[in-house]
Structure 1
Amino acid sequence: MEIPRNEGEDMASTPLAGFTILSLLLLAASSCVSAQSYEAFHQCFIDHTISAPGSKIYSPDTPSFYSIYNTTIRNSRFASTSGATKPAFIVTPISTLDVQAAVNCGKANGLRLRVRSGGHDYEARSSYSNGDPFVVLDLTNFRSITVDAAEETVWVGVGTTVSELYYNINTQTNNDTLAFTGSLCASVGIGGFIGGGGLSALSRKFGAAADNVVDAAIIDVNGRHLDRKDMGEDLFWAIRGGSSASFGVVLGYKVRLVSVPPTVTVFRVNRTSEQGLSRLVEKWQTVAHDSSGDFFIRILANAVGAGANRTILATFEGMFLGGRDGFLSVLQKSYPELGVEAKELTEMKWIESTLFFAGYPTTNTTLLLDRRPYKNRTFKGKSDFAREPIAAEAWDKIWKYLLDAEDKVLQIILSPWGGKFDEIAEDAIPFPHRKGNLINLQYFLFWPDSPDEVNKKHLDWMRGFYDFMAPYVSSNPRATYFNVKDLDLGTNKLGNTTYSDATIWGKPYFRDNFERLARVKAQVDPENYFWNEQSIPPFSA
């Protein structure tokens, strides 16, 4: 899968013209990698890409290094964390040859790669490390989108955002009834999204994004460019929701498009504690789970106000694959307690609904081409799955926990399970969260950019809340979603990760699929070159 050159790019060697001996020495002093290794990597990459105009390699003393580095980092917490290690280089390839050079040169010189597409890794592992020297391989330029309307598939580069994919599906096919099961967050990169599973408003109808991948292109640890046929079914299985960056550099995915009606219906209503919120959420759990895949409602809840006016505000967002009358009929029959009225239901095209869920107050689909998030924020995320309904009395306690913390901004996102999730086997792909789960819970704590000691106080509070939620969610293991990465679960040991050590975090993400992932890793990357704090380790008994 080849990505065309961007107009106006310079030759590969230009960004490192100012790469100094001093910068080499500073980099080497902070790690076990020698200055000669850094210089050798740089020269190796230049030598192997000199005929490819537009290739770029940046060091920390390149003027544009930090602007490029910070462009797609969504969690600004790590920018102020003193212990976080930044990359020795950033490589922004534009071709398969560039990626192969980065892999081969990195491996030869003891510099690992960290692959970045959209930058939404909540723990910023695609941009930072806990101490090991590394190179960021930023795949932003891998944004080709080739739609086959007749076959109802699309090849998409991993640097594409889900919103760019939505827009191109719609414009290239001129068909309002073809869609993709992409994220509700418009600026998420395709690479990490599919690489960890990928959830959407269409998932109850069509499964996770990774369930709809039919082919892929990857550069493996030996620098080979492989498609599904070449890589084999074990590796193809692993890179669909199993931490794809653990196995190589995925360049693109071929995904299956899904059919939606020409009209969908959406709504958004707010309810507060004073409106019987706990009973509404208790009922929602079973209604949202048991309804057909055409029906999707999620809840976003947080505490607002102060003093006597402090309350829980919950936003109910829904979509129905069909018209207003059909949605209203289902709501009145199965969930009359919510009290949604016909005037609160809006009919639109599916492509317009992606703007609705992304928070745009318009149906102008050209906005989907804007890659920027609304703003980068300092936050900590965690997630859970509940296999049994959480009673109203328990929700009362959860709300009180939020209300009592007047200096904290915590949002809880509740998403329904069931539908297609119940029909797909747990081991069909590495993403294991299937039948038996009732809802998914995601928690996000936000705070202003702060020094380490302030960050620690917020992180400790978040860990306390996570402990508080334990009685209400799954256990043995306490399941969590890989795309809400959480280093509190545990991390790999630098350079000496064992499978048994990694199960402490691997089992919550992947359940029984973790062992198969580790066995695939042992086959394709036995020396564990593609390593990070929560990468899949090679299996060892």
Structure 2
Amino acid sequence: MNSLKASASSLRSTVFLLMILIFTKPINSKDFLQCMASKFSTANVYTKESTLYSSLLLKSQKNPRWLNSTLAFKPLYIVTPSQEPEIGVTVLCSREHGLQVRVRSGGHDYEGLSYLSRAHFVLIDLVHLREIRINMEDQTLWVQSGATLGELYYNIAQRSSTYGFPAGVCPTVGVGGHISGGGLGVLTRKYGLVADHVMDARLVDVNGRVLDRKLMGEELFWAVRGGGGASFGVITAWKIKMVPVPLTVTVFTVHKTLEQGANKLVDRWQQIADKLPDDLFIRIIVQNVGGGSYGVKKTVQASFNSMFLGNVQSLISVMELIFPEMEVGAKDCKEVSWIESILYFAGHPSGTSREVLLDRDHQLYKSYFKAKSDFVNQIIPETALQQAWERQLQVDEAYMVMEPLGGMMNHIPETQLAFPHRGGNLYNIQYIVKWKVNEAEEARRHIHWVRMLHAFMSPYVSKSPRTAYFNYRDLDLGINGNNGTTSYLEARVWGTKYFKNNFERLAKAKRRIDPSNFFRDEQSIPPFG
């Protein structure tokens, strides 16, 4: 059965390649430029002949395995708008001359869909739209979509040590994509998703209009919070309510190998992770360690990576009561500020300056990889996890990241936003495999491996549908046809895995705002009908 599933995945990839050769037509490269010049300016438009084209294209790509991809076109033009009207004109000129658009805020799309396409296209890179305006009087902020999470975290910390933002742990992720996909993070159990705290948004639609919440209406505003913004237009900015954080938080990471009883601790974690106090977040990162040329045995290690919204003494009291098996002591813990905890979870050494959060292109977050995801709603047998981890020894660098849910997520209905993975889920899993050399055979071998691991886990995770997290994009779940021909019913194959029953409502919102399906990609939401 697993081999059949892997064959199906390979077949989808072959179809993906063949469809590039179909439905393409010659493009007059001058028409788009003339349109931009007549309606706005070409000052921020770069062609393939421009000296800055390559650096602009490559700079924000966080998964370099797409650099030599033959599966899609690179952009005919890169536009780096400095204001919203420029985006509107880019959209109109693209429509007028038969070009698609792709939008990039941080470049972290797992499948490269923010900078590659099977059709000729224009890349709208929001790198110049990064303004952050904070209002401490009402604890709100406006952030433009081209800013990164790191830039946002930094700016909040510069203004306040008692307010934060419940988003993800990778600081180079773009705000635009992260929020529109929902936004899981360390504070999710306490405050929910980042999208749960969005109060307003600004979006450029298919007609070049700039819409705020009032103008777009509540259905579209619902859709872009967790449903992925790129299906509906170009989201340029978000208004967000900040959340309170204590002056002192406590972090710890405890490492246990299989030989040290990691499997028993993970089994215990499964039983309590979603029921922990909302102030306590404990995720598990399972990875390969050892091996190499130093005679150290290769094994699998589980790292219990945690933050507690309080001091060390309070944390230890909680752990002794609900998770004594972990044997966490003061020596394992460190009291830090909230912004220092951001650096800690991002993998920076103690004492690193917070200015590192302003580095949009930090090499720490670039690698060749393929990822998949699951949501778990029942405890996975210890023996099954043991077998999964033993499979990790087949490759050099692989991870299973297990992040707890529960807490506030249990109190928010599935239909509150487009993101549906709320109560009933114990935790989510992200499977990641990385490799060092960007060669076709290396990529094929590692991608096959993670697909087989994902297939092995099928009996133990959510079912009907087997769900996945949209921000962990995975084209193996299904892809749309080219030329905008995919129907709503066809797209349900992958759409219900990300959005469950919310997919129909998303498709109806799409029909209202973009009935011609101009904003589309391999996993965009088609109009209902």
TM above 0.5, one fold? yes
Which deviates more from structure 2 when the two are superposed, residues 418-427 or residues 306-315? Answer: 306-315
The DSSP-based 3-state class of the residue aligned with 2:482 is: coil
What do you get for the CA RMSD once the two structures are aligned?
1.6
Residue in 2 that maps onto 1:119: 107
Q: In structure 1, how many angstroms separate the alpha carbons of the residues matched to 2:23 and 2:438?
A: 27
The DSSP-based 3-state class of the residue aligned with 1:312 is: strand
Q: After superposition, where does 1:508-519 map in structure 2 within 5 Å?
A: 508-519=497-508
Conservation of the 8 A alpha-carbon contact between 1:58 and 1:89: yes
Residue 183 (1) aligns with residue 165 (2): no
Q: In structure 2, how many angstroms separate the alpha carbons of the residues matched to 1:90 and 1:532?
A: 17
Conservation of the 8 A alpha-carbon contact between 1:45 and 1:102: yes
TM-score (norm 2): 0.93
Residue 302 (1) aligns with residue 287 (2): yes
Deviations 1:332-385 (A, max 9, x none): 111111111112111111111101111111252222211123152110010001
Residue among 195, 203, 226 paired with 2:180:
195
Residue in 2 that maps onto 1:11: none
Q: After superposition, where does 1:140-155 map in structure 2 within 5 Å?
A: 140-155=127-142
Residue in 2 that maps onto 1:436: 424
TM-score (norm 1): 0.91
Q: In structure 2, how many angstroms separate the alpha carbons of the residues matched to 1:67 and 1:104?
A: 26
* 1:450 to partner: Cα distance: 2.9
Which deviates more from structure 2 when the two are superposed, residues 479-488 or residues 361-370? Answer: 361-370
Residue in 1 that maps onto 2:152: 165
Residue in 2 that maps onto 1:96: 84
Matched AA of 1:526:
P
The DSSP-based 3-state class of the residue aligned with 2:518 is: coil
Say if 1:29 and 1:411 are closer, same or farther in 2 by CA, change over 3 A.
Answer: closer
* 1:232 to partner: Cα distance: 0.4
Conservation of the 8 A alpha-carbon contact between 1:267 and 1:344: yes
* 1:80 to partner: Cα distance: 2.3
Conservation of the 8 A alpha-carbon contact between 1:81 and 1:452: no
Residue 137 (1) aligns with residue 137 (2): no
Say if 1:41 and 1:31 are closer, same or farther in 2 by CA, change over 3 A.
Answer: farther
Q: In structure 2, how many angstroms separate the alpha carbons of the residues matched to 1:69 and 1:31?
A: 25
Q: In structure 1, how many angstroms separate the alpha carbons of the residues matched to 2:296 and 2:356?
A: 40
Q: In structure 2, how many angstroms separate the alpha carbons of the residues matched to 1:35 and 1:225?
A: 28
Residue in 1 that maps onto 2:7: none
Residue in 2 that maps onto 1:398: 388
Deviations 1:160-215 (A, max 9, x none): 011111111121x3x21110012101111100000111011001011111111000
Residue 57 (1) aligns with residue 45 (2): yes
Residue 338 (1) aligns with residue 338 (2): no
What are structure 2's unaligned runs of at least 5 residues?
1-19
* 1:40 to partner: Cα distance: 1.3
Q: After superposition, where does 1:67-106 map in structure 2 within 5 Å?
A: 67-106=55-94
The DSSP-based 3-state class of the residue aligned with 1:481 is: coil
Deviations 1:472-515 (A, max 9, x none): 11111001000000000010001201011111110110000000
Q: In structure 2, how many angstroms separate the alpha carbons of the residues matched to 1:465 and 1:436?
A: 24
Say if 1:29 and 1:336 are closer, same or farther in 2 by CA, change over 3 A.
Answer: closer
Residue 463 (1) aligns with residue 451 (2): yes
Q: In structure 2, how many angstroms separate the alpha carbons of the residues matched to 1:367 and 1:446?
A: 24
Matched AA of 1:331:
M
Once superposed, which parts of structure 1, at least 4 consecutive aligned residues long, lie more than 6 Å away? Answer: 28-31
Which deviates more from structure 2 when the two are superposed, residues 507-516 or residues 343-352? Answer: 343-352
Q: In structure 2, how many angstroms separate the alpha carbons of the residues matched to 1:295 and 1:517?
A: 33
Residue in 1 that maps onto 2:309: 321
Q: In structure 2, how many angstroms separate the alpha carbons of the residues matched to 1:30 and 1:136?
A: 21
Conservation of the 8 A alpha-carbon contact between 2:388 and 2:453: no
Residue 35 (1) aligns with residue 19 (2): no
How many residue pairs align between the two structures?
504
The DSSP-based 3-state class of the residue aligned with 1:521 is: helix
Conservation of the 8 A alpha-carbon contact between 2:172 and 2:365: no
Deviations 1:373-417 (A, max 9, x none): 3152110010001100112222211122222x1x34211101001
Q: In structure 1, how many angstroms separate the alpha carbons of the residues matched to 2:385 and 2:442?
A: 29
* 1:308 to partner: Cα distance: 7.8
Residue among 504, 507, 527 paired with 2:516:
527
Q: In structure 2, how many angstroms separate the alpha carbons of the residues matched to 1:473 and 1:132?
A: 35
The DSSP-based 3-state class of the residue aligned with 2:127 is: coil
Matched AA of 1:39:
K
Residue 381 (1) aligns with residue 371 (2): yes
The DSSP-based 3-state class of the residue aligned with 2:447 is: helix
Conservation of the 8 A alpha-carbon contact between 1:55 and 1:92: no
Residue 311 (1) aligns with residue 299 (2): yes
The DSSP-based 3-state class of the residue aligned with 1:309 is: coil
Conservation of the 8 A alpha-carbon contact between 1:301 and 1:313: yes
Residue 48 (1) aligns with residue 39 (2): yes
What percent of counterpart residues are identical? 44
Q: In structure 2, how many angstroms separate the alpha carbons of the residues matched to 1:288 and 1:83?
A: 40
Residue among 271, 278, 287 paired with 2:256:
271
Residue 488 (1) aligns with residue 479 (2): no
Deviations 1:297-323 (A, max 9, x none): 111111223388121111111000111
Q: After superposition, where does 1:346-425 map in structure 2 within 5 Å?
A: 346-361=334-349, 362-373=351-362, 374-403=364-393, 405=394, 407-425=395-413
